[in-house]
Amino acid sequence: MCELTPEKQLLERITSCQRMLYGYILTLVVVASEAEDILQETNMVLLRKGDQWVKTDNPEAWARKVAYNQVLAHFQRHKRDRLAFVEEDMLAGIAERLEFRLQRGRDQYIKAMNGCIGKLPEHSRDMINLRYFQGHSAQDIAALMSRSGQAVRVALFRIRQALLDCINKSLAGEQA
């Protein structure tokens, strides 16, 4: 199994949340070029404080809080610009409502995913457990289950597709 260094894990984590952070920042500042600049500033803070980020229970919420602080700093730097005038209380209210919606969506997704995992056949649940919760490679799982590596990769692909379909149906049912 290939172990990533802490630095590479941090970079992978930052990379994986770029779209979410950009959307969050853009919601708060509206101007795309400003959102891009703030995202870069946020990334620099995340790199500097990576050890704190790794230790948090909810890394996405922590990253959004860093982004929010960078948005506040941006508005403080541009106070005199007539278009950058935003009341801090108003911005905090927008960010709070957005955070609530994101957290609620995350909770609904996790609930749907857990329900869908429970619907899988036992051998599929075992594969998911070995791969994603215990961190085994497809080759390791193949050896444990007396199957070929290719068969395990195909099975995992099909399981992920089934889970995604189930989760999407479950979430669509909740919103109806």
The gap between the terminal CA atoms of the chain, to the nearest Å, is: 43
pLDDT given for residue 85 in this prediction: 46
- Tell me the average pLDDT across 36-62: 85
* 156 assigned to some structural domain: no
- Among 19, 44, 33, which residue's Cα sits nearest to residue 78? 33
- Tell me the average pLDDT across 9-20: 83
* 28 assigned to some structural domain: yes
* 161 assigned to some structural domain: no
Residue 28's domain spans which residues? 1-86
pLDDT given for residue 81 in this prediction: 53
Look up the pTM and report it: 0.51
CATH number of the domain that 67 lies in?
1.10.1740
Q: How confident is the model at residue 80 (pLDDT cuts 50, 70, 90)?
A: low
| Separation CA 144–CA 50 (nearest Å) | 35
- Tell me the average pLDDT across 20-49: 88
State the total domains in the chain.
Answer: 1
For residue 120, count other CB atoms closer than 10 A to its CB. Answer: 16
